[in-house]
Structures are given as C-alpha cells and as structure tokens.
Amino acid sequence: MRRSFYHYLMTLRGHDPHDAIENFAWAASLDPMFPKQTEDYHELADYLELNVDYLPSMDLFDRVYEQYLENAK
C-alpha cells in the first residue's frame, strides 16, 4: 500500500511564498477536514472543488497528483 496523497503533499511544504505547490501543501496542512487517508483522485478532487478556497486552480492539484503517482512507482 502506498502512502496517502496527504502524506505525500506534506513532503512538499516549504517556505517560498511564491511557490504555488508549497502554498497548497501548507494550506492543506491547516485544513482539519482534508481527506488525509485517501489515495483516490476523485475523492480528493471532489473535496477540493466543493470545500476549499485555498487552491487557486484544479490544474495545480492535477499536477501534484501526477507527481504523487510518479513518486509511488
């Protein structure tokens, strides 16, 4: 079993205020309702589309999710 998307995302947190991925990771770390245990794209996408205002675009999520899948190989 691979690690959850949230666990992967937490490895991307940084301190560059101009880096969209680092900002996404930091915001997700502060979101108590983020689905922390899932690997499922659709569950994550639905949550992000319907419940958050900290993600500037779903394209960013798609890019990070692609990296997550590549990292899991």
**pTM summary value:** 0.90
* CA distances from residue 26 to 1, 15, 20, 50, 73 in whole angstroms, order as listed: 25, 9, 10, 19, 25
Tell me the chain's radius of gyration from C-alpha atoms.
11
| Residue 69 three-state SS | helix
Residue type, 5: F
Domains and CATH numbers, the chain: 5-71 (1.10.150.260)
What is the per-residue pLDDT across 53-70, written as a single tens digit (0 to 9) for each? 999 999 999 999 999 999
What is the per-residue pLDDT across 20-61, written as a single tens digit (0 to 9) for each? 999 999 999 999 999 999 999 999 999 999 999 999 999 999
Banded model confidence at residue 1, pLDDT cuts 50, 70, 90: low
